[in-house]
Amino acid sequence: MLQARSADASLIAHAGRSYFPIAFIARLPFAMMVVGVLTLVVASRDSVALGGINSAFVGIGSAIVGPMVGAAADRFGQRTVLVPVGLANAVLLGVFVLVVQSTAPDLAVLALSFFVGASAPQVAPMSRTRLVAIIRQRMAAGRQEKVLSGTMAYESAADETVFIIGPFLVGLLASAIAPWVAVAGASVLTFVFVTAFALHPTGRLAVGEQAEVTQAPARQLLRPRLVVVVVGILGIGFFFGSTLTSLTAFMETHGESSQAGLLYGLMGIGSAGLALGSAAFPRAFGIGWRWLVFGVVLLGGAIAFASADSVLAVGIILAVMGIGIGPTLVAQYSLGSDRSPVGRSATTMTILGSAVIVGQSLTSAVVGEVAESSGTQAAMLFPAISAGIVVLAAVVNLVLSRRD
């Protein structure tokens, strides 16, 4: 168990200095899977359509099984669930590399893609659950609100960063060495760092000290005020997938497709910075209004992206869109944490995390097909549509909050 600390000690002191770097690296494979599978299938099977379908299957597997993994963690403890799930995922990623490059039928590759997504370790939502538990159980009541806000800001910035770094690493490894190296690397990272995360002492705290709490009925996960947050974060997933795919198509028309990952990384600069800075926003600037305001910034940037015609313009627009992403994610995860049914925090956070990967994988497949059949300009409309979903969900959230 964690060592006893003063209620005035910092969150880092409570969690341990090794916790944050381990938790950060452990979530990287999750962000690499969709793009890694897409890249490897396209390279090995010479079919963009098949690659897109496989990436969608990764998301479908995560959507169906991910919440079950979170529910199991709520019931049996993170360590008990995460160790076997992480090991299974590492093995499946390694097997996927071998199967996709063999003469195995496409159906076998699709099945493996589903199981890769289904066994994806839900590190990000489980990290949030652990840190919220530490704050609620170990820190002085007067400090909890401020520390919780800062923690949600950090976690959202970490998520945004890995969803930028993940595709960048896949592209770098695929172009510098070979497409299979990215998926194999995700397997190694999962085996080492997800296991380390699972076995970290904080894995006991998240459930062990809440074992006496009676779980709320599962139907409370379907409450409108929580569902609207899931829809909003699904929109962010749509945005990630559609932006990366349409950007790749755009750069391909300019003869520089290998640089798409570098440009995509520009979006992470403002996003991570503003996400971390969200803790400094005044309380009068409520979480729901932050979601709406920064969602509108995201929408404005996406509309400009749809009409951009030069690499320089796209780079500037991506940096602006990043300003909207970070605070929006912070607001959504904060609301998800606040509205989580009693005893189902890991389930809630897993649903939110799965929504991102589902949105990313589905739009990667759809937008890739649109880019091939209808052209790059049509594909570049999809980030604006995705941002529109984010803004619409923000409006509905404010209406529901006002009614309640």
15 phi and psi angles, rounded to 5 deg: -80, -30
- What angle do helix axes 260-277 and 224-253 make, rounded to 10 degrees? 150
Give the range with max mean pLDDT: 263-277, 326-340, 376-390.
376-390
CA 133 to centroid of chain Cα atoms: 21
Say which residue, 330 or 280, is predicted with more confidence.
330
What is the number of structural domains in the chain? 1
Length, in residues, of the chain: 404
* Mean pLDDT in residue range 283-304: 90
Residue 315 reports pLDDT greater than 50: yes
Alpha-carbon distances, residue 203 vs 21, 127, 146, 159 (angstroms): 15, 9, 23, 19
| CA–CA dist 215, 75 (Å, integer) | 9
Rounded Cα gap, residues 282 and 268, in angstroms: 24
Within-domain flag for 2: no
* Close Cβ partners of 52 (under 8 Å, ≥ 6 residues apart): 38, 364, 365, 366, 368, 369
State the average pLDDT for the chain. 82
Higher pLDDT, 235 or 182: 235
Per-residue pLDDT tens over the stretch 141-186: 777 777 877 777 777 777 767 776 777 787 778 777 888 888 999 9
Residue that wins the pLDDT comparison between 11 and 6: 11
Q: Are 161 and 322 in contact (CB under 8 A)?
A: no
Q: What is the model's pLDDT at position 7?
A: 56
Please report the pLDDT score of residue 275 as a whole number.
Answer: 63
Domain range for 292 is 19-403
Look at residue 342 in the predicted model and tell me its pLDDT: 72
pLDDT > 70 in the chain, percent: 88
pLDDT for the residue 208: 44
Asked if pLDDT for residue 403 goes beyond 60, the answer is yes
pLDDT over 60 (residue 348) = yes
78 CB-contact burial (10 Å; exposed 0-12 / middle 13-18 / buried 19+) = buried
pLDDT band at 299 (very low <50, low <70, confident <90, very high): very high
Could you tell me the pTM of the whole model?
A: 0.74
Query: Is residue 10 assigned to a domain?
Result: no
The CATH number of whichever domain residue 362 belongs to comes to 1.20.1250.20
**Helix (H), strand (E), coil (C) string for the chain:** CCCCCCCCCCHHHHHCCCHHHHHHHHCHHHHHHHHHHHHHHHHHHCCHHHHHHHHHHHHHHHHHHHHHHHHHHHHHCHHHHHHHHHHHHHHHHHHHHHHHCCCCCHHHHHHHHHHHHHCCCCHHHHHHHHHHHHHHHHCCHHHHHHHHHHHHHHHHHHHHHHHHHHHHHHHHHHHHCCHHHHHHHHHHHHHHHHHHHHHCCHHHHHHHCCCCCCCCCHHHHHCHHHHHHHHHHHHHHHHHHHHHHHHHHHHHHCCCHHHHHHHHHHHHHHHHHHHHHHHHCCCCCCHHHHHHHHHHHHHHHHHHHHCCCCHHHHHHHHHHHHHHHHHHHHHHHHHHHHCCCCCCHHHHHHHHHHHHHHHHHHHHHHHHHHHHHHCHHHHCCHHHHHHHHHHHHHHHHHHHHHHC
Q: What is the predicted pLDDT for the residue at 384? A: 95
Q: Which residue has the higher pLDDT, 328 or 283?
A: 328
Domain for residue 5, yes or no? Answer: no
**pLDDT higher than threshold 50 for residue 86:** yes
* 132 in a structural domain: yes
pLDDT for residue 211: 44
**99 domain residue, yes or no:** yes
What value does the mean pLDDT take over residues 214-234? 83
Domain membership flag for residue 12: no
**Domain for residue 337, yes or no?**
yes
Instruction: Kindly state whether residue 1 falls inside one of the protein's structural domains.
Output: no
